[in-house]
């Protein structure tokens, strides 16, 4: 089933090579098993798309990797260490935007994992944040309160906080669900560019299968807490498998070289891409 | 606003990204010198006003001269008589300093509670912490336990126990509702009601002279018995205030919620425990010397947010200064407005604070989800 390339043989170095290994990861909320034994590997610089229906366990897997939920099994960096805030940066689906907090302040929170219990941000931290804001073209908004930003600007601010963590692994939970088509692609292109220039690894949970296929090197399809397919987008997005997992007839097409997943003509109201 | 000052150069010229980002980042979470200076000047002005106003009719110039004379290396002839000097140094100044310490403590505790509970309406009084501390203190007073030495008095300890019970119970009642501002306050109301009742019952068991003593203390007033109260509260202010100041950054991280704070490497539970402990101890110490003074912890941090910044790096220290100035000013009013009679200072803060609270609710009505 796993057709993905084996994780890079490069051992996590001082620069923080981003290989992540999940083995038999299980998460239960009371009697409900959200994850039932997930095995996953992530190579340095790779973009892994997590797809699957609502409630399949995509968010839970990301939260487990970020250390936000208790889990059984192992989640480790290739060096064997459990990841922390300096290794993994999570962009939550619905981030809380504190009233009155400016974009620069929000991004500066991303330096928190690097600080000791009673330490405060140094000049270096502030410089890192200033350059992150510049890279995301947010310098104009740096002093502006988060609550006064548009959707696309907000998403970039949240991304800025994650990038300020300087973590080699970036976890995105539905990063573009609140954005229109144009802004969605802008944000994803931006992340893709950062990944290519900085060698960041990305795990992105996404609803839109076509978009997921377009940006990801590899897709992992999750259903009922298990990975049911893992590999190149074209091999994972098989119409029969998708129709079973999403419990609705789906067809897969290629238009101008891009994969497009469409509902079968009769089932118009069911799946929303 | 803290980011308004455009004159500051980026801190590292060799790597200066577009100035907007560098400048805003430089100023982020920082207390700007003008704001700090403003607060200090306001506090000094209030202190001077308070020291020179009062029933004893000490002349402004004479008071200033006498105070200046006490400074090292300054020698000014004092025009005050020995009796007047003792009024100044044994009655007026201790009361002024006590007012500043209590006000600063309550405002700082309020700001910290607002941070850990992520609730702009949290206040030692509204959370029931003051009532809990008051009950503990009443028990200690009633049993004649107000013995001890300086900060090691039994009164603050008993008040602290009551405060801890109240804040834990309020939080437990609102369990799973860290996110809902209303639930926490309802928990606080329940605790305040319970402790007020317990207190009333306890007072009913006291002798008549004790009762009068306890009641006048309960109204919230800054007593005038020399420097002993200052000596009780001062060490708590330094210790707990220091802890709260050191955890300002945690409060800023907590603003994004426990989950995100955790993903940012902060242990929210541990930070919350430390901050709640320090804020409750500070409240308890303040309550045990001054009784129940309401709304200082609500009004002052709100004004700081409105005027300067929402960052707790700014709100906590400026609330300390602002609270000190606020309560010293209010107490000056309490001593002089109805002279020769005196109003309990808690009555005036409630007169100011209750409408302010209503205003905050009114303004926030649209923002706070039901």
Chain A touched by B265 (CB under 8 Å): yes
- How distant is the Cα of B48 from the closest Cα of chain A, in angstroms? 34
Averaged pLDDT in 10-residue chunks for chain B of 370 residues:
40 50 87 95 95 85 88 80 89 93 97 90 88 89 71 83 90 66 80 90 83 77 78 94 96 93 92 93 91 90 93 96 96 87 87 88 58
Which pLDDT value is given to residue B224?
Answer: 61
Which pLDDT value is given to residue B223?
Answer: 67
Distance (Å, whole) CA A190 – CA A184: 10
Distance (Å, whole) CA B23 – CA B5: 9
With contact defined as beta carbons under 8 Å apart, do B66 and B78 qualify? Answer: yes
Which pLDDT value is given to residue B366?
Answer: 53
Region A189-207: mean pLDDT is 91
Give the closest of A92, A100, A115 to B260, CB-based.
A92
Which pLDDT value is given to residue A13?
Answer: 38
Region A223-234: mean pLDDT is 94
Token representation of residue A173: 């939970």
Distance (Å, whole) CA A61 – CA A24: 11
Q: How many domains does chain B have?
A: 1
Supply the range of the domain harboring residue B348: 94-364
- How distant is the Cα of B231 from the closest Cα of chain A, in angstroms? 28
Packing angle of the helix pair B312-336, B33-52 (nearest 10 deg): 10
Helix (H) or strand (E) holding A257, with range, is none
Q: What DSSP state is assigned to residue B184? A: H
Closest residue of chain B to A109, computed from CA coordinates: B253
Distance (Å, whole) CA A53 – CA A46: 23
- How distant is the Cα of A136 from the closest Cα of chain B, in angstroms? 11
Intra-chain end-to-end CA distance of chain A, in Å: 25
Chain B touched by A2 (CB under 8 Å): no
pLDDT digits (tens, 9 = 90+) for B282-335: 999 999 888 889 899 999 999 999 999 999 999 999 999 999 999 999 999 998
Model confidence at A11, in pLDDT bands (50, 70, 90)? very low
- Who wins on pLDDT, B224 or A172? A172
Q: Is A12 left (phi over 0), alpha (psi -120 to 50) or beta?
A: beta
The full set of domains in chain A, from first to last, is 14-87+167-235 (3.40.50.300), 98-164 (no CATH)
With contact defined as beta carbons under 8 Å apart, do B170 and B131 qualify? Answer: no
Cα–chain center distance at A254 = 25
- Whole-Å CA distances, A168 to A163, B315, B353, B367: 9, 34, 50, 37
Give A-chain residues touching B273 at CB under 8 angstroms: none
Which pLDDT value is given to residue B367?
Answer: 52
Strand, helix or coil for residue A48: strand
Mutate to test the interface with A, among B117, B179, B263 (most CBs of A within 10 A): B263
Distance (Å, whole) CA A175 – CA B354: 43
Token representation of residue A102: 């400016």
Residue B19 lies in a domain: no
- Whole-Å CA distances, B324 to B97, B212, B291: 9, 28, 16
Residue B38 lies in a domain: no
Q: What DSSP state is assigned to residue A93? A: S
Residue B293 lies in a domain: yes
Place of tokens 């506090």: B43
Residue B345 lies in a domain: yes
Give A-chain residues touching B20 at CB under 8 angstroms: 139-140, 142-143
A 99-138 residues inside an 8 A Cβ radius of B = 99-110, 112-115, 118-121, 123, 126-127, 129-131, 133-134, 138
Distance (Å, whole) CA B92 – CA B224: 8
Residue B70 lies in a domain: no
- Look at A179-183, A206-210, A245-249, B85-89 and tell me which has the smallest mean pLDDT: A179-183
Query: In this complex, do B11 and A123 lie within 8 Å of one another by their Cβ atoms?
Result: yes
Residue B22 lies in a domain: no
- Look at A181-195, A252-266, B169-183 and tell me which has the smallest mean pLDDT: B169-183
Distance (Å, whole) CA A65 – CA A84: 9
Residue B344 maps to which CATH number? 1.10.3470.10
Query: In this complex, do B265 and A108 lie within 8 Å of one another by their Cβ atoms?
Result: no
- Whole-Å CA distances, A208 to A4, A178, A184, A250, B50: 21, 12, 11, 13, 67
Residue B166 lies in a domain: yes
């Amino acid at each position: 089933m796993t057709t993905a390339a084996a994780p890079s043989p490069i051992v996590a170095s001082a620069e923080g090579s981003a290989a992540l290994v999940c083995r038999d990861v299980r998460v239960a909320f009371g009697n409900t098993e959200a994850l039932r034994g997930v095995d996953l590997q992530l190579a340095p610089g790779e973009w892994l798309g997590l797809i699957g229906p609502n409630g399949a366990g995509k968010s839970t897997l990301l939260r487990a990797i970020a250390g936000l939920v208790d889990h059984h099994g192992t989640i480790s960096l290739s060096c064997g260490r459990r990841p922390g805030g300096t290794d993994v940066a999570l962009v939550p689906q619905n981030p809380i935007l504190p009233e009155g907090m400016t974009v620069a302040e929000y991004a500066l929170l991303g330096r928190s994992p690097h600080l000791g219990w009673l330490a405060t941000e140094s000049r270096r931290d502030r410089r890192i944040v200033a350059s992150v804001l510049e890279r995301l073209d947010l310098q104009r908004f740096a002093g502006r309160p988060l609550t006064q930003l548009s959707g696309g600007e907000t998403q970039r601010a949240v991304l800025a906080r994650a990038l300020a963590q300087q973590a080699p692994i970036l976890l995105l939970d539905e990063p573009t669900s609140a954005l229109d088509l144009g802004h969605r692609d802008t944000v994803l292109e931006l992340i893709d560019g950062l990944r290519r220039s900085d060698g960041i690894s990305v795990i992105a949970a996404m609803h839109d299968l076509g978009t997921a296929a377009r940006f990801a090197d590899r897709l992992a399809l999750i259903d009922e807490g298990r990975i049911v397919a893992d590999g190149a987008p074209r091999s994972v997005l098989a119409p029969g498998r998708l129709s079973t997992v999403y419990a609705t007839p789906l067809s897969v097409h290629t238009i101008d070289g891009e994969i497009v997943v469409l509902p079968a003509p009769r089932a118009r109201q069911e799946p929303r891409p | 606003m803290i980011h308004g000052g455009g004159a500051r150069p980026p801190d590292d010229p060799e790597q200066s990204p577009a100035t907007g980002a560098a400048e805003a980042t430089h100023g982020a979470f920082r207390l700007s010198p003008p704001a700090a200076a403003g607060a200090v000047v306001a506090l000094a002005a209030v202190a001077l006003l308070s020291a020179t106003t009062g029933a004893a009719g000490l002349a402004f110039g004479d008071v200033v001269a006498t105070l200046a004379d006490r400074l090292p290396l300054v020698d000014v002839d004092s025009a005050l008589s020995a009796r007047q000097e003792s009024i100044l140094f044994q009655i007026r100044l201790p009361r002024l300093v006590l007012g500043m310490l209590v006000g600063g403590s309550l405002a700082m505790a309020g700001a910290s509670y607002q941070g850990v509970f992520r609730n702009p309406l949290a206040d030692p009084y509204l959370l029931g912490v003051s009532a809990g501390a008051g009950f503990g203190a009443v028990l200690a007073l009633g049993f004649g336990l107000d013995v001890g030495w300086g900060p090691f008095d039994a009164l603050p300890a008993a008040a602290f126990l009551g405060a801890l019970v109240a804040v834990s119970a309020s939080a437990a009642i609102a369990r799973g509702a860290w996110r809902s501002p209303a639930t926490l306050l309802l928990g606080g109301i329940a605790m305040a009601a319970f402790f007020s009742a317990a207190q009333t019952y306890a007072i009913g068991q006291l002798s008549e002279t004790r009762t009068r003593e306890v009641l006048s203390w309960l109204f919230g007033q800054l007593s005038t018995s020399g420097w002993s109260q200052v000596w009780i509260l001062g060490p708590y202010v330094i210790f707990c205030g220091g802890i709260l100041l050191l955890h300002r950054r945690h409060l800023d991280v907590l603003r994004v919620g426990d989950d995100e704070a955790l993903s940012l490497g902060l242990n929210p539970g541990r930070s919350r425990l430390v901050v709640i402990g320090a804020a409750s101890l500070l409240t308890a110490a303040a309550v045990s010397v001054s009784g129940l003074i309401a709304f200082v912890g609500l009004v002052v941090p709100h004004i700081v947010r409105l005027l300067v910044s929402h960052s707790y790096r700014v709100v906590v220290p400026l609330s300390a200064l602002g609270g000190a100035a606020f309560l010293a000013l209010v107490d000056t009013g309490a001593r002089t407005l109805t002279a020769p009679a005196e109003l309990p200072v808690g009555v005036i803060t409630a007169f100011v604070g209750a409408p302010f609270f209503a205003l905050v609710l009114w303004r926030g009505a649209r923002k706070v989800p039901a």
